[in-house]
């Protein structure tokens, strides 16, 4: 039976792993490696650094978990293309442990998407206009079907992010996918009347029209009205809940 690792040895091994991680990140920066470029193999780093293979392997695994490197059996590790997976995991964790709220996420979305709409109006392509128009029609068609509406509303906002031609907007929206899904579902549930549902459709049509007309100022204003309507509905629902608690109305 192998002897147990001494706690001090474990701390040293962990420290060495962190140093190897920093070494690999520095190497990527120094060599100006791009996504898909190969990194030194485990054995090459073992020889270069004079460390055990287990320490180097653990460093690569940690960087893979962070989305920095890609590891595949039988191939050298490679620089990974940046995506939203790690950020999405962190934000989901923060939300599920009540470290951030839907209200806070809505605040972030509001500022981000208002400017995103403005950029989209300036940069949208003809193909993107057609896709946005199609999603706007789908939003009207499925306004009474919450699940279908939510999917098309998500696509509508993703298309605007793509049309802004700054991949960080699309990445942030994808990272917030779960929270945005919840926000859209909750917002629709708070606006049940025919008048409110018609207003939701109109707000999306206004955004689409302004973006496709390449009017950045109107696009930003339309998006601002869209989020103001959501906040207004949430405030009204909260006020109704307080009234119920105070009066005992049923």
**What's residue 9's pLDDT?**
43
Residue 24 lies in a domain: yes
DSSP character at residue 48: H
**What's residue 239's pLDDT?**
55
Angstrom distance (rounded) from CA 36 to CA 39: 9
pLDDT along the chain (250 residues), means of 10: 45 74 95 96 93 93 93 92 89 90 87 96 98 98 94 96 95 90 84 90 98 98 93 66 41
Same domain as 223, residue 201: yes
The owner of tokens 């951030």 is: 100
Give 235's contacts (C-beta < 8 A, 6+ positions apart). Answer: none
Quote the domain boundaries for residue 206: 85-247
Same domain as 148, residue 51: no
Nearest to 100 by CA among 183, 171, 190: 183
**What's residue 183's pLDDT?**
82
Same domain as 102, residue 21: no
Nearest to 63 by CA among 45, 50, 74, 47: 45
Residue 34 lies in a domain: yes
Same domain as 128, residue 155: yes
Arithmetic mean of pLDDT over the chain: 87
Residue 22 lies in a domain: yes
Choosing from 24, 51, 79, the residue where a domain stops is 79
Same domain as 183, residue 217: yes
**What's residue 236's pLDDT?**
64
Q: What is the tens place of the pLDDT at every residue in 32-64?
A: 999 999 999 999 999 999 999 999 999 999 999
Same domain as 179, residue 89: yes
For 33, the token pair is: 């490696």
Residue 1 lies in a domain: no
As for how many domains the chain has, the answer is 2
* CATH number of the domain within which 178 lies: 1.20.120.530
Residue 240 lies in a domain: yes
Residue 2 lies in a domain: no
Residue 169 lies in a domain: yes
**What's residue 245's pLDDT?**
37
For residues 114 and 227, the answer to whether their CB atoms sit within 8 Å is yes
Same domain as 107, residue 50: no
Q: What is the tens place of the pLDDT at every residue in 172-213?
A: 999 998 888 888 888 888 888 899 999 999 999 999 999 999
Choosing from 55, 79, 103, the residue where a domain stops is 79
* CATH number of the domain within which 27 lies: 1.10.10.10
Same domain as 231, residue 123: yes
Residue 18 lies in a domain: yes
Neighbours of 113 (CB within 10 A): 25
């Amino acid at each position: 039976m192998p002897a147990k690792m001494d706690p001090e040895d474990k701390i040293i091994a962990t420290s060495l792993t962190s140093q190897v991680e920093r070494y690999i990140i520095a190497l990527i920066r120094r060599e100006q490696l791009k996504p898909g470029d190969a990194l030194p193999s485990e054995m090459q780093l073992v020889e270069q650094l004079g460390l055990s293979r287990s320490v180097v392997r653990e460093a690569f695994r940690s960087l893979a978990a962070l989305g920095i490197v890609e590891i595949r059996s039988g191939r050298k590790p490679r620089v990974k293309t940046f995506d939203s997976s790690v950020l999405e995991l962190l934000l989901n964790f923060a939300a599920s442990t009540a470290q951030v709220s839907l209200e806070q996420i809505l605040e972030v979305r509001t500022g981000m998407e208002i400017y995103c709409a403005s950029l989209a109006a300036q940069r949208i392509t003809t193909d993107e206009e057609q896709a946005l128009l199609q999603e706007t029609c789908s939003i009207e068609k499925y306004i009474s079907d919450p699940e279908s509406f939510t999917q098309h509303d998500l696509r509508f906002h993703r298309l605007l992010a793509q049309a802004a031609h700054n991949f960080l907007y699309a990445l942030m929206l994808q990272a917030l996918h779960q929270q945005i899904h919840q926000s859209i579902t909750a917002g629709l549930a708070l606006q049940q009347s025919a008048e409110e549902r018609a207003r939701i459709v109109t707000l999306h049509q206004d955004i689409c029209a302004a973006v496709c007309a390449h009017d950045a100022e109107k696009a930003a204003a339309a998006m601002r009205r869209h989020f103001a309507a959501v906040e207004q509905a949430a405030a009204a629902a909260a006020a109704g809940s307080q009234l119920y608690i105070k009066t005992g109305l049923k």
